[in-house]
Amino acid sequence: MTDVEDIVEAVVDIEELLEELAEPEELVEDFVAEPLMIAVGLVAGVAGVLALLLFMLTLTLLLLAIGPIRILAVLTLLSLLTMALAIGVFLYVRTDIPRDVQRKLNNALAQADDTSTATDGMTEQEAINAIKTQYANGELDDHELDAALEAVLSSDNPERVVENHE
């Protein structure tokens, strides 16, 4: 069932990318961060819209029984195939961590200190990367991730925070 959930999540991500066309600042920011994912997502979105339009046009022509139905049907099938391939490539390219969570992690990394403590334990950046791995492995939910990031940034011993969330 995870595969179906991944496909649904990918379609939602593609929809969000298309919505970002109205907000070019966010789109440019995301494009700089992950250009391949954004490009493939936009191609998938355009292919999906084209497939929908061609499908509706095919149905209309079938109802009216006029025009070059075979050519339109082939174009519809090609656009559906392109959309399916684009979604597949998008699923292959995207990371396991949602963009909003990745932004939280990037913000935490920007605030983190990269010098080790007197006890030679983990640096804050190493601790955040360990928490990121735990989240990607499904060991933490969103609430626990937020709490762990906050604890790492405010703790004198980031390694202990990571151990407490294992």
Q: In whole angstroms, what is the distance from residue 63 CA to residue 58 CA?
A: 9
Q: In whole angstroms, what is the distance from residue 128 CA to residue 150 CA?
A: 10
Q: In whole angstroms, what is the distance from residue 85 CA to residue 89 CA?
A: 6
pLDDT score at 1: 47
Quick one: 76 and 114 in the same domain?
Answer: no
Quick one: 76 and 27 in the same domain?
Answer: yes
Mean pLDDT, rounded, for 128-136? 80
More confident residue, 48 or 33: 48
pLDDT score at 138: 74
Which among 36, 44, 48 is positioned nearest to 86, based on CA atoms? 44
pLDDT above 70 coverage of the chain, percent: 81
Of the listed ranges 49-58, 106-115, 137-146, the least confidently predicted one is 106-115
Q: In whole angstroms, what is the distance from residue 164 CA to residue 24 CA?
A: 41
36-41 contacts at long range (C-beta below 8 A, 24 or more positions apart)? 36/93, 37/90, 37/93, 37/94, 37/95, 40/86, 40/89, 40/90, 40/93, 41/13, 41/14, 41/17, 41/90
pLDDT above 90 coverage of the chain, percent: 1
Quick one: 134 and 104 in the same domain?
Answer: yes
**Predicted confidence (pLDDT) per residue in 75-129, tens digit:** 788 889 998 888 888 777 666 677 777 777 777 777 776 665 555 567 777 888 8
Q: Which of 93, 116, 145 is the last residue of a domain?
A: 93
Model confidence band, residue 58 (pLDDT cutoffs 50, 70, 90): confident
The boundaries of the domain holding residue 142 are: 99-164
Quick one: 82 and 26 in the same domain?
Answer: yes
**Predicted confidence (pLDDT) per residue in 5-21, tens digit:** 777 777 787 777 777 77
pLDDT score at 130: 82
Quick one: 33 and 72 in the same domain?
Answer: yes
Rg (CA), the chain: 22
Quick one: 73 and 125 in the same domain?
Answer: no
